[in-house]
Structure formats: C-alpha cells, structure tokens
Structure 1
Amino acid sequence: MTLFGTSGIRGPVGETVTADLALSVGRALGVDCERVVVGRDPRESGEFLQAALVAGLRESGTDVVDLGLAATPTVARAVGWRDADAGVSVTASHNPPEDNGIKLWQPSGQAFDAAKRERIEERIADGAFDPAGWDASGRLDSWDARERHADAIRDALDRDTLDSHVVVDVGNGAGGVSVEALQSLGCHVETLNAQPDGSFPGRPSEPKAENCRSLATLVAESDADLGVAHDGDADRMRAVAGDGTYLSGDVLLAIFARAAADPGQRVAVPVDTSLAVADYLAERDVGVEYTPVGDVYVAEAASEDGVAFGGEPSGSWIWPDRTLCPDGPLAAATVAALDAARALSERAAEVPDYPIRRDSIEVDGKRAVMDSVRETVLETYDDVTTLDGVRVDLGDAWFLLRASGTQPLVRVTAEAREASRADSVFQEARALVADARE
C-alpha cells in the first residue's frame, strides 16, 4: 500500500482522500506522539477531514493543538513553537478545489521523510492501533499562530521598515499571514483574492504566470513596487516585479540563492532547475547541489553543512537557518526586502535566459521504459545523475528524462546556452525514449 507521495497524501475527496483515511492517519500518528499541531487550508472538505484526523489522534491519547485555518508553513513552524512531536496540514496545496490531502511535519519544520511516511502506512495497513482508556483521551486546545508567524518573519528580516507598496494575491487561500508580516514591516499592502474560499473563485490555486495576470496588470498599472502570489496553503510564493513582469521560478530561485549564500557555500535545487541558475551563482563562487524533485528532498539537502538555501522553481523556498519548511510568507517578505534594496527588475535582468525545451511522451509501462533508458544512458554518457529519473550534463547543455508520478508519460526536458544546441539535445533525449519504447 502506498498512500504518501513526496508531498504527502493528495487526491480527490471521497475517492483517494476520505474521512476514514484521515481517522486512520490520526490513529497511526498518535501511536508515538504526545502532542500534535493541526491546521487546514480553506477547502470545505478540510473541516470534516481535520475533525476525523483530530478524533483519531485524541482517541490515541494524543493532545492536539488546533490552529484552524492556517498556512502550511504556520503549521510546520508551530510544531517547534508548541513543543509538539509532529504537525499535520490538511491541504491539497496548489491542486484544484475537488482535491484535498494530508501532509505531516517534523519539529524541525521538515516534512516527514520516506522512512517516517512508510511507518505511518504500515500502521494503517496493519491496524496497529490501541485506543486510550476512557479517561486518557487527548486534550484539544485552539491557538491562532498567525501573529507568532508574522513576528518570526519580521525578526528574520531584522530591519525596522521597508516602506514598500506590495500587492499580495492571497489566491483565496490561507496566506493572509503575509499581509500581517508585510504590514508589520511598514509596507503598504494591497490585496487580491484575500477572502479565504476553498473553491478558489478568484483564480486557480497554483500561482503560475497565466493565473497571475490580474496581479501583474495591477502592479504594472499602479504605483506598486512589486506583487507576490500564493497557492491555497501558502507554502509557495511567486513574484511580479514593479514593471509588471512575472518572474520565472528559475529567475526567482537565482535571486534568492545569490542573496542567501556566501562564496564557497552551496544551494540545494531539484534536477529540473535551469542551467542559468548554476551559471549565475558560479559568478559568486556559490555551488549547486541537485536533489530529486520535491520540497522534502530539497529540505534534506538544505539541512547539510554548507548549504545556505534551498528552492524549487515551482515556488517553494527554504532558508534552513529559519525553518526547513517551504515558507511562502517568509519568501514574500524576503523578496520585498530585496526589492527595497535594489529593484527586482534589475536583479532579474542579470540572470541568464537560456532556451529550454519540454515535452511529454506517452508510453506503455513507464517503469520498464525508464529502466531501459537508464541502462542506455549510463553506458553512453559520462556525467549522469539518477537521483530522480536520468539527468545528463553535457557541459554546455543538459537533458532530463523523468517518469510522471501520476500518468503514463515520460517527461523530457532539455536546455542549452544556445537555441540550436537546445534543439539538438532535445531531439537526442526524445530519441532515447522512442528507442526504449520499441
């Protein structure tokens, strides 16, 4: 039985994600936890899923700190603040409203790793649960942790005022703590889609470019200095420069990483990150450490000595000296501080822009296809990484072949410093998949 992906349990409500499942997760987690922090994003299904999960925890004799509607990074940070053993976010993050999910957090702020996830799955499968006695059920306390989170962000920036005009697109999600944090830093804050609503009526939850056009337009046509946008649980943050330009994830990653890392340090990034990031950071003698795709893997690498920052182009940003969870509100305040020191548009102009090619190839038996591809690639190329799929570094270019986690597809990505080279490498990579299908 496999319930957890790298981002926890996630799927359609009533099918993959049910109250019965939430109850089982609560019971399994409660086996070795004395106190657990729980919060949820605004999806209506989150109310009964959280209630079921809390019931399972309390039935196990575990005390629960209920944060109610709360950003995922608020939940993750609150585990340490409340001296708890674990945290649970009931959220499907950037997924559509018909989905929901469950993500588990350690006291460090890092998501549960593979071993911890497997232990929960085994307990659920085995029914390894002993209810507490009638007089030993867990207590339930409520706590609004948003002010504590906003205070932590203000303290992390260690400055009196930003005096910036920031537009925050909350995306009808749980990221209102960004507004509080920015206001506490002296910013004039204007909001879009600020009313929590799990149907996400203002825009789709994922803050990608096509979903942030209203934000970009408002920033461009007003006197705003920048704009920021969150997904449903605010673990992600994307940004718009003062001229209305939506910054790509790779550009924003490069900007954050260069500001966070000193010469000689490293930053953790997933294997699908642009070569432009490594080139830009190399100018400052900052190295890049590649990880599998997923914030849990980036967090693991970011916890190593000498790694100053971790980030994913999808919008997850981790400052390990603060917390090992992707903290969208912290990222929002940090990007505002960077812009106040020097305009984001100027910083972005310094990051190289390389041509990148992407495609998805439908296959039968993607596991067998990828096994064949991996064998061929290892025999043919010298610089190969198999952390997540197969990534080949060609010096002036690279390509990545990864199986989709949910569909019968192999995803092909190729990038080079020159367009013609990107095209040729892309065709070379596609041919490897085509040959493996035969």
Structure 2
Amino acid sequence: MSSTEVQAKRLFGTDGVRGRANAELTAELALRLAAATAEVLGADVERPTAVIGRDPRASGEFLEAAVCAGLAAHGVDAIRVGVVPTPAVAYLTAEYGATFGIMISASHNPMPDNGIKIFGAGGHKLDDAVEDRIEAAMATVEEVERPTGADVGRLVDAPDAVERYLNHLTTQIDADLSGLTVVVDCAHGAASALAPEAYKAAGATVIPMHAEPNGLNINDDCGSTHMGKLQAAVAEHGADLGLAHDGDADRCLAVDAKGDLVDGDMIMAILATAMADKGKLKDGVLVATVMSNLGLHLAMEKAGVELRTTAVGDRYVLEELRSGDYSLGGEQSGHIVVPAAGTTGDGILTGLLLMEQLAATGDSLADLASIMTVLPQELINVKVADKHAVAEADDVCAAVTAAEAELAGQGRVLLRPSGTEQLVRVMVEAPTADAAHSVAKRIADVVAAAGS
C-alpha cells in the first residue's frame, strides 16, 4: 500500500476529525472515538477527567451527548463547559487540571460539517503518534472491560468556565483600550457572546455583528472566511478597526479604518516587531507556515527577526514553538499562537494584543501593517475525488515544475491537499497580481483535469 493510500484513510486530519455531521461524522463514530480516547489518554489515571466544549452547530448537541456517553462508559468524568471557543477548552483543560479536553467544532467549515478536536493534559494538541494510538484503539474498544457501579464516569457542568476564561483573557494586556472603536464579526459562532464581552472589558467600544447563532447559521457568509460585510461595516461606523473570528474563534483577521484587510501575516509582523522591541521575542524567532507571504519573510529579515517555517496547520507551528520555547507563531489564516498566554491559537487574545499595539503606539492599524508589503498571491481551491492522488499526479507535478521555472525565483508555487476537505489548494505568488492569477489558473486547470 502506498503512503498516499495510508494518508487518505487516516481518520485524523490536520486539526482533529471532521466530516458531515450524521453522515461521515456519526454519533456512533463520536462515541467510539471518545471511548478510545478515554482508554489511551486515561490509562493509568485513577479517576480521569475531560473538559468538553462545543460551538453552536445544531449537530454539536447530539455529538456532545455521544462523546460524553463514550467517556462515561469508560470511566471518565466529563466536565461540560457549553458553547465556548476552542482556545477556551484548551485553557480550561489546564485550568481544571483535566486529563484531556475535547472540542466539538468544525472551525471555519460550513454548518453541515462538524469535528472533534482533542487536547492532551495541559491543553496541548496531540502529536501524530498519539492520534494514531487512539485511532488504533477504536478497532478494539468494544472488547475492553468497562467499569461498573461507582467507577462509571459522571457528567458535570462547569458554571464558572466562561468567567475563568474571560478573566484569563483580560489579564493578558496592560493597555487601556478606551478610545478605540472596533466592529467584531463573530461568525454566528462560539465567540458570539464572549468576544464582544472581552473587548468591552478591556475598554473598547464594541459594535458586534453576526452574533446571533441559531445552530444553522455559523460561518454563513460571515466571519473570517467572508470579510466583505465587516469591511463595509467598519467604513459605515467610522471604526478604528474590525476584527473577524471563525466559528470556533481560534482565528482572527482584521480590517483597518480604510477597509483594507490585515491578514494573519500582517498581524504576526506587527506583534513580532513589538515583542522584539520589548525583548520578549525568544531568540528573535517568529514561526509561520509555508503558506505565509514572501512579504512577511522580507519584512522580518529587515526587522532582524528570524522566520522559521513549518508545514501547514497550527499543530505544526505549535510543535516548532514548543521545540525552542519560542514566543510567537501562526498562520496567514489568522491562527496566532502566543505560548506565554495559551497553548493554541486564540482569536480573541489576538484581537486584544493587536488593539493593545494601537493603544500603546497611537498609530492606526494601517500604519502598523505598513511594516509589511504583500507580494500578490493567488489561492485556488480545486475540488477533487482523491486529493492525495491528484497532488502527486505526474501531470500536476510537471505543471508545478514548469511554473516555478517561469517565475525564476521572483515568486513561488505551493500545492497541497487540504487537511480537512477533498480539495487541492494551489497557491502562487508572483511580482504582479495578473501573473499570480495566470499561473495559478493554469495549474488549477491541470489539477481539475487530473481529479475528474
């Protein structure tokens, strides 16, 4: 069996297990996954506990019930924290001293999807080897002797979970944000109540939008994957900036007062230089993925910051951060990780830290973002039947090689299978937008033909 076939059949993607709820991601699968997680992560723990949170998707209700059933049946006490952002589950896993944590969310994916993300002790994401052990355990978990009587797991609610997480967030910045007006797009997601409250607590004037989740409207033409309405709202209200989160609020993108997008690369550039100036950027290192714009590389080189790159996925950024005890990392998509304040990307924390720089410097967001000049970039997502096979097809590889020769070192090509969907992502950077579009379209056409 080829490595491509093995990868294609692996249950875990780059960020947990995802699929259409009640189709690929069923209650039965969620129960078995939770049970296997209990057996692997709860082994040798006298009375294991797990923090369970979810985003507001309707399917999260039955998936939460299935997860809790799987845990309790295998002797794990489940601490339910309700609808909260993914980083809240990571934080609360450490705060409550839980054995592990589980977040039920498909992040930025559309509503029919859902997912299950697992955090180990201390709120850290699992490495591939541990995920593989859990996946292997799913095949035999029904044969395991189960606890009875007083040894079965119990389900408890944590009424102070949101308060603890908010207190944590508001202690991460020193600046008073009064005087700043921010429009916040909550994506009808897990941060719909929390994000506006956190920004208000820090002193900002907050104008929330898309903050009325009904279980069906999460990420629906809103949030960090659909920035147009936020851009218009910032101009309409004359706000200093806009912030956009995704469905589980582990991402944050921004809009300046002129309505221009400030993406994750620009946010990292702003925060990295500020931390470097204060002597808080460990070894002068910023960690990003291969998807980050060449403009970030150039800006960091000019600022004397070393940029280290990883594979795509915040888990790989996290692994690199932990390997060197570095201070800052993230992705162009708006996953920003500050290990001193959290174990995973936290969109609300990112928004607070970004506004702290506006308050501390008196500069506009546009002025702060001008540290980086973005090289034109084109990203095309191509739907295919088998993403791994298509990405390795001879015709596709030949098209990529030809495009790299054409760019002759003045741009780059990155082609990769999506970690969560049956897509191949084609990204091209070039000296001009027209060139980036032309080259990307040419490769995308070859990918589409190979995947049909």
What is the match of residue 205 of structure 2?
188
Q: How far apart, CA to CA, are the structure 2 residues paired with 1:199 and 1:165? A: 29
| 1:77 to partner: Cα distance | 0.7
Counterpart selection for 1:27 from 35, 39, 52: 35
Q: How far apart, CA to CA, are the structure 1 residues paired with 2:25 and 2:383? A: 27
| 1:278 to partner: Cα distance | 0.6
In the alignment, does 2:137 pair up with 1:123? yes
Letter of the 1:257 partner, please give it: A
Letter of the 1:232 partner, please give it: G
| 1:422 to partner: Cα distance | 5.4
Q: How far apart, CA to CA, are the structure 1 residues paired with 2:302 and 2:228? A: 33
What is the match of residue 8 of structure 1?
16
Q: 1:237 to 1:392 in 2, by over 3 A?
A: farther
Letter of the 1:243 partner, please give it: K
% identity of equivalent residues: 36
Q: How far apart, CA to CA, are the structure 1 residues paired with 2:175 and 2:365? A: 19
Q: How far apart, CA to CA, are the structure 2 residues paired with 1:303 and 1:408? A: 30
Counterpart selection for 1:171 from 176, 187, 190: 187
Q: How far apart, CA to CA, are the structure 2 residues paired with 1:153 and 1:86? A: 21
Check whether the contact 1:162–1:185 (CA below 8 A) recurs between aligned residues.
Answer: yes
Counterpart selection for 2:150 from 135, 140, 144: 135
CA RMSD of aligned residues (A): 3.3
Check whether the contact 2:105–2:116 (CA below 8 A) recurs between aligned residues.
Answer: yes
Check whether the contact 2:177–2:355 (CA below 8 A) recurs between aligned residues.
Answer: no
Deviates more, 1:219-228 or 1:64-73: 219-228
In the alignment, does 2:306 pair up with 1:281? no
| 1:221 to partner: Cα distance | 2.1
Deviates more, 1:179-188 or 1:405-414: 405-414
CA offsets, 1:296-318, max 9 Å, x none?
11111122326321111112110
Query: 1:299 aligns to what SS in structure 2?
Result: helix
Letter of the 1:53 partner, please give it: V
| 1:322 to partner: Cα distance | 1.5
| 1:52 to partner: Cα distance | 1.1
Letter of the 2:20 partner, please give it: P
Q: How far apart, CA to CA, are the structure 2 residues paired with 1:191 and 1:375? A: 44
Q: How far apart, CA to CA, are the structure 2 residues paired with 1:339 and 1:282? A: 23
What is the match of residue 238 of structure 1?
253
Q: 1:428 to 1:327 in 2, by over 3 A?
A: same
Q: Which stretches in structure 1 are left out of the alignment for 5+ residues? A: 382-389
Counterpart selection for 1:354 from 364, 375, 396: 375
Q: 1:428 to 1:125 in 2, by over 3 A?
A: same
Q: How far apart, CA to CA, are the structure 2 residues paired with 1:296 and 1:396? A: 30
Counterpart selection for 1:199 from 212, 216, 220: 216
In the alignment, does 2:313 pair up with 1:294? yes
Counting matched residue pairs gives 425
Check whether the contact 2:380–2:440 (CA below 8 A) recurs between aligned residues.
Answer: no
Check whether the contact 2:390–2:396 (CA below 8 A) recurs between aligned residues.
Answer: no
What is the match of residue 101 of structure 1?
115
| 1:374 to partner: Cα distance | 12
Query: 1:46 aligns to what SS in structure 2?
Result: helix
Q: How far apart, CA to CA, are the structure 2 residues paired with 1:70 and 1:78? A: 10
Query: 1:325 aligns to what SS in structure 2?
Result: coil
| 1:57 to partner: Cα distance | 0.6
TM-score by length of 1: 0.86
Counterpart selection for 1:333 from 339, 347, 352: 352
Deviates more, 1:402-411 or 1:336-345: 402-411
